[in-house]
Structures are given as structure tokens and as C-alpha cells.
Amino acid sequence: MPEETISSRYTAINFVQKYALFSEQWTPKVIAQMNDYQFKVVKIEGDFIWHSHADTDETFIVLGGTLRIDFRDGAVTLNEGEMFVVPKGVEHKPYAETPVRLLLVEPCGVLNTGDQGGERTMRNDVWI
């Protein structure tokens, strides 16, 4: 853990402020950690790739915009103020017709492309 002052230890994490720190899409940024789980903000627009996470569920919380998560046998649409937990091992493909601000909750070390890999894979340990 980095050296901290008392004042920084007791500082609120503000979602709007965190989103203002970056513009690139599909690049999750860690903003907080609880035990071995992390909270990540990410901006997305358009189609992601089909993938799954064999070892963990993954939580999507929509803080702005409308997200659709496609499954092989259905889909769920999430508006601002809504969440969904994708069960482990279930193939899914996020899609956003217009820009979406997401909050992800998942264990440390989870890759955005899950078991699929490929060019859309991003670093999973970038804090802002």
C-alpha cells in the first residue's frame, strides 16, 4: 500500500471525477479495492467481443447511458442506476449504441476479454 496521509485515506471516491480523468474507451481503470476485489470504471461504445470468465462472476453497474449485454440465448438491457451479475462461465458480449459509463466489480486479475484473449485485451491493473 502506498504511503498515505490521514486526509487521503479518508477521501471519497467520486465517479464523475474519475471518468473525467480519461477519454479512451474499453480500457478499465481501477478506482478502489475491497479485499481481493476491485472496482473499475470504463467507458464503452459499440461492440465488444464474445467472451466468458471461467472462474468468476462479473458485476456490471451502469452509471450513465444504456448497456446491452448479449448472451447466446437472450440479452439484458441496463440503464443508468441498474446492475447485473454475469455468472461465471457464461458467454456474453457487451454492446453500447451510444457512450456508456460503467462500474465493474470483479476479482483482482480478471481480464476484460476473459478466456478469449486477443487484441481487445487491456491491462487489468491501471489505477486512476
Inter-residue contact 64 to 100 (CB < 8 Å): yes
**Which of 22, 26, 37, 50 lies at the binding interface for a second copy (CB under 8 A)?**
37
Is residue 54 involved in binding a second copy (CB under 8 A)? no
**Which of 20, 21, 83, 126 lies at the binding interface for a second copy (CB under 8 A)?**
83
**Which of 71, 111, 121, 122 lies at the binding interface for a second copy (CB under 8 A)?**
71
Which C-beta is closer to a second copy: that of 17 or that of 25? Answer: 17
**Which of 44, 106, 110, 112 lies at the binding interface for a second copy (CB under 8 A)?**
106
DSSP 65-124: S-EEEEETTEEEEE-TTEEEEEPTT--EEEEEEEEEEEEEEEETT--TTTT--STT---S
Which C-beta is closer to a second copy: that of 85 or that of 128? Answer: 85
Inter-residue contact 96 to 67 (CB < 8 Å): yes
Is residue 75 involved in binding a second copy (CB under 8 A)? yes
